[in-house]
């Protein structure tokens, strides 16, 4: 029997990972957060003191990057050369590095097979930017989950404040716009909605409504494909 892959793509801060994680848990699917992989590479580059604009430098770090994904109580943990970096990758600085390294073709190639292989081993719900367009173009369910830049900035701002990080709403909005621009205009695998993806705008939805909407789309699509 074939496994079911659900591809969820969209810009940063649309609530993708929270919604995807909850939906996967309800369905009993493995949740794969591909952004964490780009962040881990960004962290490796940052720790080496290499600039995010130094493409050759970024590529030179790849042979030393050993990524592993582990699940503890259903939560994804990402290991960089054996070290659990799940927390360390969640800073605005590493988000910027992640965006930079994700524009480098060698980095995307480096992660492509790992991500495809994960879909061969079970039912998965994978979230990212190019899952429906590049990584799993044949996924039976594709969702493009988005929200206005303002709604996303507001949510991310509250999240960062809760973590005790010193930021202003303006800074967060500016970062989001800059990252949207970088993610959508890069030459390789830019962020875009796959033609066969269902568009879900969560600007006016609560978290619970977003989760229910995602579950409804998955149910409809998997029944259609049966």
Indicate the DSSP class of residue 62: G
Among 23, 31, 61, 128, binds ligand DC (CB under 6 A): 128
Q: Is position 102 an interface residue for ligand DC (rule: CB under 6 A)?
A: yes
Nearer to ligand DC, 136 or 218 (CB): 136
Q: Could you tell me the maximum CA-CA distance found in the chain, to the nearest angstrom?
A: 51
Residue of 152, 149, 132, 130 whose CA lies nearest to 140:
132
For ligand DC, how many residues bind (rule: CB under 6 A)? Answer: 15
CB 93 within 8 A of CB 46: yes
Nearer to ligand DC, 126 or 211 (CB): 126
Q: Is position 157 an interface residue for ligand DC (rule: CB under 6 A)?
A: no
Site for ligand DC in 56-95 (CB under 6 A): 95
Burial class (CB in 10 A: 0-12, 13-18, 19+), 202: buried
Q: Is position 155 an interface residue for ligand DC (rule: CB under 6 A)?
A: no
Per the DSSP assignment, residues forming a β-bridge with 213 are none
Q: Minimum distance from CB of 193 to ligand DC (Å)?
A: 14
Q: Is position 179 an interface residue for ligand DC (rule: CB under 6 A)?
A: yes
Burial class (CB in 10 A: 0-12, 13-18, 19+), 16: buried
Give residues in contact with ligand DC (CB under 6 A). 12, 34-35, 38-39, 95, 98-99, 102, 128-131, 179, 183
């Amino acid at each position: 029997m074939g496994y079911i892959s659900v591809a969820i793509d969209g810009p940063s801060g649309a609530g993708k990972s929270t919604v995807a994680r909850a939906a996967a848990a309800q369905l009993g699917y493995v949740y794969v957060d591909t952004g964490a992989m780009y962040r881990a590479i960004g962290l490796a580059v940052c720790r080496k003191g290499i600039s995010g604009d130094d493409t050759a430098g970024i590529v030179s770090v790849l042979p030393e990057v050993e990524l592993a994904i582990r699940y503890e109580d259903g939560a994804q943990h990402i290991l960089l050369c054996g070290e659990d970096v799940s927390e360390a990758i969640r800073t605005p600085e590493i988000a910027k590095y992640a965006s930079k390294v994700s524009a480098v073709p060698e980095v995307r190639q480096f992660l492509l097979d790992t991500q495809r292989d994960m879909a061969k081993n079970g039912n998965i719900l994978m979230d990212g930017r190019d899952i429906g367009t590049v990584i799993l173009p044949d996924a039976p369910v594709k969702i493009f989950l988005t929200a206005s830049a303002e709604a996303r900035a507001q949510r991310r701002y509250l999240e960062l404040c809760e973590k005790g990080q010193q930021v202003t709403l303006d800074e967060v909005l500016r970062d989001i716009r800059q990252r949207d621009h970088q993610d959508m205009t890069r030459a390789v695998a830019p962020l875009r909605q796959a033609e066969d993806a269902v568009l879900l705008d969560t600007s006016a939805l609560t978290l619970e409504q977003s989760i229910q909407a995602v579950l409804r789309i998955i149910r409809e699509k998997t029944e259609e494909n049966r």
